[in-house]
């Protein structure tokens, strides 16, 4: 009998790649999503597969899944700043009520739970690079607080179920990840820059562009998650690519990659925008024998090829 896994946020960017991986690996995959920021087109290629089912459901409401479950991967949550600023209450609810429902379901099914946490639990970090034992610098009532605190609560709730109920849990702190199926207009920097280049618009760098991020290609992240799920490690673990770059330099890389003749224009830096971010991945290396394999140039080329084949309608449609 194949193992059964529930993946929440299945129709989103990361959730859909996880569905692909677990379907390919022979699991029976139950994808769940309310499509608030996700799209069925990300997973419709899986509908004909016998080992895939889809439940259109809000995880923040009571969830019922018939049959046994071996694993629950909780990835449902708006993830880009413009999304969670638009739907702040739903973001807080999916990180609190949503994880509570998943953990309750896991107890009933005796399933192992892995949750998608984030580098945002470190906020605007005063420790660089960020190690897992850094407690973070988050403004709970700032605009990003709805996401950061939901994720911090989610970690606390997950650890409580582990400690007090003996539930098998895993926590991955994901750093900026990119790849095909990101939404062109989700506001994150990579689709923003590539979308602007493809539409013949100037690239909008926020602030002076000196803030840094470290971008991980999606296949590397998925491999790290699979290894973590099957490991015995229960404390939070960073998964990301430590290759750090300033946003200004990143804009120049995209200009080169796309061959656009547009220029960079500078806009106001959003409030509480972290100044630097780079994962310390010593733990993932040591405990999971994991390191990212994709160079940024390689991952960016694959991602650019994905965005290039989108239709004009998709490219110019604001909500895509
Ligand atoms: P995404 O917006 O593409 O995917 C999230 C999915 O969750 C969407 O399909 C959305 O419809 C669904 N969803 C949201 N609320 C829901 C609810 N109440 N019930 C059911 N489904 C719901 O975002 P993503 O980039 O794929 O992120 C997935 C997860 O990974 C999130 O939990 C996010 O916080 C985490 N994460 C992502 C990154 C990254 O760089 N992409 C970094 C850190 C953490
Ligand atoms: N950013 C930018 N121009 C854009 C979109 C984002 O300069 O059009 C900046 C943003 O201010 C941040 C960085 O790029 O400093 C990464 O932003 P993103 O939303 O992708 O991720 P996060 O801030 O959540 O790490």
Residues 191, 178: Cα–Cα separation, whole Å: 9
Q: Which residues contact 302 (CB under 8 A, 6 or more apart)?
A: 179, 180, 217
Is the distance from the beta carbon of residue 247 to the nearest atom of ligand 2 less than 6 Å? yes
Q: Residue 116 Cα, ligand 1 centroid: separation in angstroms?
A: 8
Q: 231, exposed or middle or buried, with CB in 10 Å at 0-12, 13-18, 19+?
A: middle
Is the distance from the beta carbon of residue 95 to the nearest atom of ligand 1 less than 6 Å? no
Q: Residue 167 Cα, ligand 2 centroid: separation in angstroms?
A: 36
Mean model confidence pLDDT for the chain: 96
* Predicted local distance difference test score (pLDDT) of residue 131: 98
* Predicted local distance difference test score (pLDDT) of residue 319: 58
Ligand 1 atom index nearest CA of 98: 18
Q: Residue 274 Cα, ligand 2 centroid: separation in angstroms?
A: 9
DSSP assignment letter at 295:
-
Q: Where are the alpha helices (DSSP H) in the chain?
A: 13-24, 81-86, 88-109, 145-165, 189-199, 218-229, 247-258, 282-288, 296-308, 312-316
- CA 229 to chain CA mean position, Å: 16
CA dihedral 309, 239, 109, 23 (to 10 degrees): 30
Residues 230, 228: Cα–Cα separation, whole Å: 5
Are 90 and 96 in contact, with CB atoms under 8 Å apart? no
* Predicted local distance difference test score (pLDDT) of residue 313: 86
Is the distance from the beta carbon of residue 101 to the nearest atom of ligand 1 less than 6 Å? no
Is the distance from the beta carbon of residue 176 to the nearest atom of ligand 2 less than 6 Å? yes
Q: Dihedral sign for Cα 104, 56, 182, 276, please.
A: negative
* Predicted local distance difference test score (pLDDT) of residue 318: 60
Where b means 16+ CB within 10 Å and e means fewer, 143-160 reads ebbbbbbbbbebbebbbe
pLDDT in tens, 1-16: 899 999 999 999 999 9
Is the distance from the beta carbon of residue 272 to the nearest atom of ligand 2 less than 6 Å? no
Residue 147 annotated in active site: yes
The interface pTM score, or ipTM, of the predicted complex is 0.97
Could you identify the residue written with the tokens 């690239």?
203
**Neighbouring-strand partners of residue 172:** 116, 237
pLDDT in tens, 231-284: 999 999 999 999 999 999 999 999 999 999 999 999 999 999 999 999 999 999
Is the distance from the beta carbon of residue 204 to the nearest atom of ligand 2 less than 6 Å? yes
From 247, 264, 270, 277, give the residue whose CB has the most ligand 2 atoms within 8 Å, as the site to mutate: 247
Q: What would the two tokens of residue 22 be? A: 């677990």
Where b means 16+ CB within 10 Å and e means fewer, 111-134 reads bbbbbbbbbbbbbbbeeebbebeb
Q: Residue 275 Cα, ligand 2 centroid: separation in angstroms?
A: 10
* Predicted local distance difference test score (pLDDT) of residue 1: 84
Residues of the chain with pLDDT under 70: 318-320
* Predicted local distance difference test score (pLDDT) of residue 315: 86
- Which of the residues 71, 84, 147, 294 is marked catalytic? 147
């Amino acid at each position: 009998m194949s193992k059964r896994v529930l993946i929440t946020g299945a129709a989103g960017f990361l959730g859909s790649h996880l569905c692909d991986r677990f379907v390919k690996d022979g699991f029976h995959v139950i994808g769940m999503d309310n499509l608030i920021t996700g799209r069925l087109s990300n997973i419709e290629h899986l509908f004909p597969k016998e080992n895939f089912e889809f439940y259109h459901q809000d995880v923040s409401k009571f969830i019922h899944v018939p049959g046994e479950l071996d694993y629950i991967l909780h990835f449902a949550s708006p993830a880009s700043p413009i999304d969670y600023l638009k739907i702040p209450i739903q973001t807080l609810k999916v990180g609190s009520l949503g994880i509570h429902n998943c953990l309750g379901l896991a107890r009933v099914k005796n399933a192992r739970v892995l949750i998608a946490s984030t580098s945002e639990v470190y906020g605007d970090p005063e420790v660089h690079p960020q190690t897992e034992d850094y407690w973070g610098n988050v403004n709970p009532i700032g605009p990003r607080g709805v996401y950061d605190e939901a994720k911090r609560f989610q970690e606390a709730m997950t650890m409580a179920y582990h400690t007090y109920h003996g539930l098998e849990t895993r926590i991955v702190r994901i750093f900026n990840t990119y790849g095909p199926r990101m939404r062109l207009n989700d506001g994150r920097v990579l689709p923003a820059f590539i979308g602007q280049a493809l539409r013949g618009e100037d690239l909008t760098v926020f602030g002076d562009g000196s803030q840094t991020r470290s971008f991980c290609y999606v296949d590397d992240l998925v491999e790290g998650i699979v290894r973590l799920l099957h490991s015995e490690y229960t404390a939070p673990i960073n998964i990301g690519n430590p290759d750090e770059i300033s946003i200004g330099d990143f804009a120049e890389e995209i200009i080169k990659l796309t061959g656009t003749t547009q220029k960079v224009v500078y806009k106001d830096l959003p409030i509480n925008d972290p100044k630097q971010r780079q994962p310390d991945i010593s733990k993932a290396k040591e405990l999971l024998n994991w390191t990212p394999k994709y160079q940024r140039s390689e991952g960016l080329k694959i991602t650019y090829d994905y965005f290039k084949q989108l239709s004009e309608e998709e490219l110019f449609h604001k909500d895509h």
